[in-house]
Amino acid sequence: MPSDPNPEPDQSERVIFVGQDKAGHWIVQDDRRSMEGRFVSYGAALHYAQAERDMYHASIEIAATPLIPLISFAPVGRDERALPRAA
């Protein structure tokens, strides 16, 4: 008797990267560029990545090249408006 087909398509495993940008900030990003965290130390970044790994059933990799932040670290200019709340 054939088994029922898998209701969900095969999804590739998410990868979470821990690394620094060119300025030396510690960043955690996923390979889908849908998540980013910024941290003051490698340890804090790795702790966050491990928690996210468990939630998303992802793997963690240490970035071999500098990561590019999804959101700029530059302060908001006088003529710009900050977001009313974080996403």
Enumerate the domain spans of the chain: 15-62
The whole-angstrom separation of Cα 6 and Cα 33 is: 27
The mean pLDDT values, 10 residues at a time, for the chain of 87 residues are 50 90 94 92 97 92 95 78 61
The single-letter DSSP state of residue 18 is E
Q: How many CA atoms lie within 13 A of 46 on its CB side?
A: 6
| Model confidence, pTM | 0.72
